[in-house]
Amino acid sequence: MENNLFVGKVRYHFDTLPSTNDFLVELLAKSKPPEGTTVWADNQTAGRGQYGSRWYSAPGQNLLVSVLLYPTWLKASNQWPLSEALAVAIRDAVADLTQLPARIKWPNDVYLGERKTAGLLLQCALNGAHVQHAIAGIGLNVNQTQFPPEAPNATSMALACGQPFKRPAVLERLLWSLEQRYLQLRQGQTERIRRDYRNHLLGLGQRRRFARPDGNTFDGIPQDVLPDGRLIVQTDQGSAAFDVKELTWLFAT
């Protein structure tokens, strides 16, 4: 077991929950759990991805985890560094466990090759001009080998490596990575995290296909990510910065 200072020291494990994130929200409504409180479930009946999308996970095969953090030093207008740090942490864990070149697909998914193996749903509550607390919900595909048609671009660590993994060991490595990167962020090492995020960004400098909210598609080359999290894409009409709600990254299925 990794020797964490606080992430995962208080831990709740369930066979089934509607949502690990929602469990922590309900816990916060009743008390103030210690930082690093972790909830994981073998199955979720109402798991969510970003922007209301559903997260598909076969019961007992993957990791469905939520971690409570108190990054109260972060300004409400500058939450992106936390998302960046957590994405790098998940990538670190996947790369170390699989010994494969895991990449971050903007804004915070983790890919093995051209397929998604992990996603992050970050929920922040504000107190005035600062973040009051953050709940990091992570779905990591560990041993699932078949995915529904609704998730055509998904893969798992087991599929990528040709062998199953012990989920408790994967969880320990993930929690250790999350704590290390969170501590770096708390210590003000934002430039280091930003550099590591950029170094592992999927498709950087490569021509890719995107879609706008109206369904129109276009080709562009991701060039960088701004400090506020917007993706800079070079198009035939010039460079433009896109928010996560303004752009969908398309993959061949």
Contact between 217 and 180 under an 8 Å Cβ cutoff? The reply is no
The pLDDT of residue 240: 92
Read off the pLDDT of each residue in 5-26 and give the average, rounded to a whole number: 96
Cβ-Cβ contacts under 8 Å for 37 (sequence gap 6 or more):
10, 11, 12, 24, 27, 67, 68
Do residues 157 and 93 share a domain?
Answer: yes
132-184 confidence digits (pLDDT tens):
999 999 999 999 999 888 877 899 999 999 999 999 999 999 999 999 999 99
Termini Cα distance of the chain: 38
In a domain, 4, yes or no: no
Rounded Cα–Cα distance for residues 218 and 229 (Å)? 21
pLDDT tens-place string over residues 46-97? 766 554 456 678 889 999 999 999 999 999 999 999 999 999 999 999 999 9
Q: Looking at the whole model, is its pTM more than 0.75?
A: yes
**Is 92 in contact with 163 (CB distance < 8 Å)?**
no
- Does 133 map to a domain? yes
Give CA–CA dist 155/147, Å, rounded. 8
Give which of 38, 47, 56 is closest to 17, Cα–Cα: 47
Q: Are residues 213 and 191 in the same domain?
A: no
Q: Where are the alpha helices (DSSP H) in the chain?
A: 20-30, 80-98, 157-161, 167-186, 190-199
User: Rounded mean pLDDT of 8-28?
Assistant: 96
- Whole domain around residue 20: which residue ranges? 11-199
What is the CATH classification number for the domain harbouring 49? 3.30.930.10
- Residues 237 and 177 occupy one common structural domain: no
Is 80 exceeded by the pLDDT of residue 107? Answer: yes
Total domain count, the chain: 2
